[in-house]
Copies of this chain bind each other. A is one copy, B any other.
Amino acid sequence: MTVKIGYLGPKGTFTKLAVDAAFNGEDKQAFDTIPACIDAIDGDEIDIGVVPLENSIEGTVHLTVDYLVHQVRLPIVAEIVVPIQQHLLVRPDFSGDLEEIKEIHSHRQAIAQCHQYIHEYMPKASIHYTSSTGKAAEIVSTRNTSIAAIGNKLAAAEFGLSIYRDNIHDYPNNHTRFAVLTKDKHNIHIHHEVNAEKTSLLITLPSDYAGALHQVLSAFAWRKMNLSKIESRPMKTGLGNYFFIVDVNQPYDDVLFPSVKAELEALGCSVTILGTYPVYQLNI
């Protein structure tokens, strides 16, 4: 039976790029929003869902984490990491110079990521905002040749555009992270090298007092469990109440993690394992 994979669409986005890099040939379906994609897994319409965890285009990590925490508890079973590479895309029949490009179309975040490039090399071009980088590529493909889109190479391929200038983003070494979600781990077949193993925890503190977070981290520190990420998020019960998302740089085991959990619960915290999973860093 074919495994059905849902992802945050539309086609030509960074999420689709990550899905294509990680999964071959399966049935792939675009969803318009993160909650819609997560609901579809929960409702068994799809087997696997891929949504951004730390993505500077399609949306913030917050919506993914909040929806997983507050609405639908599905485990993270893998993380896919891809580099952010923004290109200047034109129609293949455009053969002019850079200064002949009169309009730049893209998502607001993509425009912002190429702020310095545009400022330096295309100061006279007018900026036009679209709802996604894919949409920008679609607009350019159907219009005249003196306009360009900013997007990734998949957007170029999907809409038959040429990469006129590559890697025009201001920061090198920037990456985006995607979570792979499923009810059944056996659905996942990613034929790439595993770069790391991680465990993500959701920790809520009993109350907002000085040093509570420090006490929580002590439980990890004296066991030499390294944290690669920590982020506080509001509890939705009002300002000042926070929960914490902690990424531990090792897989779940039957000794250290249960001990940490028991200790923190004794301190009045609640601890939820969001997932323990391999990380695939893909060079695409």
Contact = CB atoms under 8 A, between A and B. Distances in A.
Given A115-B35, A129-B132, A213-B217, A59 B109 contact: yes
Interface stretch (A19-27, A168-176, A268-276): A168-176
Give me the 8 closest cross-chain CB pairs, A-B, nearest first: A214-B221, A129-B131, A211-B221, A35-B115, A33-B112, A210-B226, A210-B224, A60-B60
A234 interface: yes
Contacts of A122: none
A171 B70 contact: yes
Q: Tell me if A's interface is mostly helix, strand, loop or mixed.
A: mixed
A269 to B, nearest CB: 16
Contacts of A59: 60, 108-109, 112
A151 to B, nearest CB: 15
Nearest to A8: B108
Interface stretch (A92-100, A235-243, A257-265): A235-243
Given A108-B32, A174-B236, A228 B210 contact: no
Contact of A236 (B173, B217, B240): B173
A253 B255 CA distance: 44
A239 B60 contact: no
A239 B33 contact: no
Contacts of A236: 171-174
A232 B234 contact: no
A81 interface: yes
Interface string A124-140: 00010111100100000
